[in-house]
Structure 1
Amino acid sequence: MSLVGEGARLVDVAGGGELSGAELTEQVERAAAEVADLPDGVLFARMSVDLASVLRYLGAFEAGRAIALIDPALDADVLADLIGRFRPAAVLAAPEVAPPPGYRAADGHWTRESADGVTPHPDLAVLLPTSGSTGNPKLVRLSRQAVLANAEAIAEVLHIDSAEVAPTCLPLHYSYGVSVLNSHLVRGATVVIEPSGVLGRGFWQAVTEHGVTSLSGVPYHYEMLRRLKFDPAKYPTLRTLTQAGGKLRDELIVEFNDKMLAVGGRMYVMYGQTEAAPRMTTVPAERLADRIGSAGPALPGGAFAIRRDDGAETTHPKIVGEVVYRGPNVMMGYADDEAGLAAGDECGGMLATGDLGYLDQEGYLYITGRLKRIGKVFGNRVSLDDLEQAVRSAAVGIDVVAAVSAGDKVVLFAELPEGEAAPAICKDAARALSDRLHLHTSGFDVRPIDTVPLLASGKIDYRSLEGRV
């Protein structure tokens, strides 16, 4: 089965053109032919939000070449480490610097000089790094079946058909961003390739000009859209919002759902992980208002269970434990180096998510935190996610906040404008946490910050903040 369904169309805003029908098929086949004769090994593709990157991705998928989607802003030393560990056949859209030893530069790419390389497993299609712009990421191995199964399931629950027009709201190296691309193309819909994102003026011009019907965003995008006083009534074709990439606070779900209902539109809240290609749930739009706070039921073909402290799994309502997912979209496993690319399926369709949560009587999932997002305040274990939510709910004037562990206390970076009021707001936030948890205020170090650092996906860059404490 192809990722490009009949009728699919790509609109290239920057280039001022579009591809569809036989012309799109020809361009994808040309891209497939270009990668087919490269040496054995995985392909690294630095995925800018542009037509060339989309065609390379689709060409590799159709040619059966395993392709790793790489952030074009990835630190040079992290990219060098990945190249050293995985020895890719080529780095497509390579940096404009001298290639590393063993590679030659030509036509904007780096190609490995040696023909010897590990042949990836024949089921392997897409690889995505597990972390952002720092650290030494391993790669999530996604099979062709997993990618296609998730694209079809998402298209089904979001009612995507050939009339839908979706823009590239998110980076294409990010699992949620490529998922939007996949789920629309597989149903023969239109994807508008526009690089500036939802905070760019050019983006909203494209929404109007090309009749965009849906937007996708992570929590940070919705926080910013609220500040910008987003009004869907200004965009008559825009009638669907989707949100994933972390928990959006309940009051914003209510606000944006009400905005969409007022114009006859709909909003979907979803939950996923890169390891699940990437989405696992969707709250049906018609149930969102009475399921605020829920991540929704499992996608078609998937199922959830809760792993208790004793290791047993249950689907009994209200029992909190680690969320376990089973479905055809689960990864084959991780790869730490070139040898791992040849491995087969090591997960058997089961993913222990590392998230804490519970199910209700109808099988709707509620996420309560992360197993590893835990800090300590004077020896007391606290959920860092819960602390962030508590600060946002404290009505002290903080909407964007990021909490990291710092020894026997927690540091919370609050996005605040410069001014004399910032220190007082931070003190109020610390006092609110102290009152809520009955712990001394000195355990909560709330600091103002101009802008909370983000990864390219729009998620908070916690690793960067940990380096500041």
Structure 2
Amino acid sequence: MTSLVGAGARLVDVASGRTLSGDELAAEVAAAGEKLAALPAGVLFARTAIDLDSVLRYLGAFESRRAVALIDPALDADVLSGLVERFRPAAVLSAPEGDAPAGYRAEDGHWLRDSAEGVTPHPELAVLLPTSGSTGNPKLVRLSRKAIFSNADAIATVLGIDADEVAPTCLPLHYSYGLSVLNSHLVRGATVVIESSGVLGRGFWDAVDEHKVTSLAGVPYHYEMLRRLKFDPAKYPSLRTITQAGGKLRTDLVTEFNDKMVAAGGKMFVMYGQTEAAPRMATVPAGDLAGKLGSAGPALPGGEFRIRRDDGEETTHPKIVGEVVYRGPNVMMGYTENEAELANGDDMGGVLATGDLGYLDEDGFLFITGRLKRIGKVFGNRVSLDDLEQAVRSAQVGIDVVAAVPGGDKVVLFAEGVEKDVCKAASRALSERLHLHTSGFDVRPIDTVPLLASGKIDYRTLEGRV
């Protein structure tokens, strides 16, 4: 592959009513690339919204081989300032309002670096994505052109994406899952509908109807909300596929949405990935979903899973629990924390220790059991925070959305939209299940669980409330 924009690909911009395809789309991408190519040496920072300009700018950077970091427009100003200081980008595109930082000048809505001197990124470096959300001091994940291409092609293969598919921008484009939807459709010559309100917005569903959208993508929170809204795919005859990634969706919801899609003549795919893998590593084939509930699926074409045991040895033997290790052409080149490291080559060799705990079954399907670092303690007993969340949701006390964080020698769980008596019932259910005193499980009501732009739970903010 030489271009992300396959023959026949189209961009439909709901906001402006424009449709770009063929020579017109190629010309717009080339024009965006020419502007970026004229900037000084260095990485580009692009504050990336869900709009046509952001998509064309990303494609222009990719096609002109300018390494670009896709930045959340809502990123905290101090975090953005720290990133600019560490990486000295050639420009911050669609910069925030206000004065440019030292060494930069504001021009046409961007910040342009005054100095022409800068570190030239490695020639294979294509995309950089932050490792964390709106707070903290994120490292950047370095993704090569090969990683982007290979993952887009593998995703398109397992999902059966072809030129007839019409995918909306359900998720932020600076989030790896949202970016992968864009890449995997354009590379196969499909249509992408650019609509900014997301699956919980009224305008989104109007666009689904008008443009005959065939698929949608969501993280667990979206499916929790769609359930509350009594989503029925039968109301949208063009919708043939739904995909879920961005964390483990509870099995009863997998069953519910899979049943709904099958009844409407469609399919559901559960996917697993990380930004460091550009980002997908596994997909459960739709036909196997009901029989493999809880699984993340087999590795994508070209990839392989192994399980690293406590002794450091790796195995594919079924039912052995350990850290999940992935090998594939879509693994990142490595992390970078400063400008100098942008010139680094491939530090990973196609091997990614995921930090997830899991096992393989007899068919090579992966099951994730938790995170190495998502561990809390209750009276000195180690507990999986992910398992506690799942236990609360399955306790049938009326809690659907819950987030668990460490709280010293207890665990604090924030339950969305419930009363205190429901929280007490959840504490009792956890106490009975783990045979530990109820005081070790501090379940608190919260109006809304805070989310990152990706739709994932913002655990860092919740930790600050403990």
For the superposition of Structure 1 and Structure 2, which TM-score range results when normalised by the shorter chain? Answer: over 0.9
Residue aligning to 1:454: 451
Q: Which amino acid aligns with 2:322?
A: G
Look up the match of 1:313.
Answer: 314
2:174 maps to which residue? Answer: 173
* 2:124 matches 1:123: yes
Q: Secondary structure at the match of 1:25?
A: helix
- Cα distance in 1 for residues equivalent to 2:286 and 2:393: 25
Partner of 1:382: 383
**Match in the other structure for 1:87:** 88
Distance in 2 of aligned mates of 1:162 and 1:41: 35
Whether 1:437 aligns to 2:431 is no
Matched residue count: 465
Q: 1:105, CA displacement in angstroms? A: 1.0
**Superposition RMSD in Å:** 0.4
- For 1:82, give the aligned amino acid: L
1:248 partnered with 2:249: yes
One-letter amino acid of the structure 2 residue matched with residue 111 of structure 1: L
Equivalent position of 2:425 in the other structure: 428
- Cα distance in 2 for residues equivalent to 1:92 and 1:181: 20
How does 1:153-192 map onto structure 2 within 5 Å?
153-192=154-193
1:467 paired to 2:464: yes
Distance apart, 1:366 and its partner CA: 0.1
Shift of 1:438: 0.5
* 1:133 alignment partner AA: S
Matched with 2:406 is 405
1:46-125 alignment, distance < 5 Å = 46-125=47-126
Match in the other structure for 1:13: 14
Q: Deviations over 1:347-382 (max 9, x none)?
A: 000000000000001100000000000000000000
Q: Distance in 1 between matches of 2:28 and 2:465?
A: 47
CA positional deviation for 1:97: 1.2
Opposite residue 175 of structure 1, the aligned amino acid is: S
Which residue is equivalent to 1:345? 346
- 2:360 matched to 1:363? no
SS in 1 for 2:289: helix
Which structure 1 residue ranges, 5 or more long, are not aligned?
none
Give the Cα–Cα distance (whole angstroms) in 2 for the partners of residues 89 and 138 of structure 1. Answer: 18
Cα deviations by residue, 1:20-70 (Å, 9 ceiling, x for unpaired): 000000000000000001111100000000000000000000000000000
State the Cα distance separating 1:96 from its structure 2 match. Answer: 1.4
SS at match of 2:428: helix
**2:95 is paired with a residue of what secondary structure?**
coil
d(CA) in 2 for partners of 1:211 and 1:104?
44
Distance in 2 between residues matched to 1:453 and 1:136, nearest whole Å = 19
State how far apart, in whole Å, the 2-side matches of 1:280 and 1:456 are. Answer: 22
Q: How does 1:137-156 map to 2 (within 5 A)?
A: 137-156=138-157
Q: How far, CA to CA, are the matches of 2:120 and 2:406 in structure 1?
A: 41
Q: What do the CA deviations read for 1:193-242 (whole angstroms, capped 9, x no partner)?
A: 00000010000000000000000000000000000000011101001000
Distance of 1:257 and 1:4 partners within structure 2: 31
1:180-203 per-residue CA deviation (whole Å, 9 max, x = no partner) reads 000000000000000000010000
Q: What is the CA–CA distance in structure 1 between the aligned matches of 2:317 and 2:100, rounded to whole Å?
A: 55
CA drift at 1:249: 0.2
3-state secondary structure, aligned to 1:118? coil
* TM-score, length basis structure 1: 0.99
Deviation readout 1:403-424 (Å, 9 max, x if unpaired): 000110000000024xxxx111
Shift in Å, 1:178: 0.3
In the alignment, is residue 37 of structure 1 matched against residue 34 of structure 2?
no
Deviations 1:165-184 (A, max 9, x none): 00000000000000000000
Which 4+ runs in 1 deviate beyond 2 A?
A: none
SS at match of 2:246: coil
SS state at 2:115 partner: coil
Secondary structure of the residue that 2:122 maps to in structure 1?
coil
Q: Which amino acid aligns with 1:184?
A: H
Shift of 1:6: 0.3
The residue aligned with 1:297 is 298
**TM-score (norm. length: structure 2):** 0.99
Structure 2 counterpart SS, 1:305: strand
Query: 5+ unaligned residues in a row in structure 2: which ranges?
Result: none
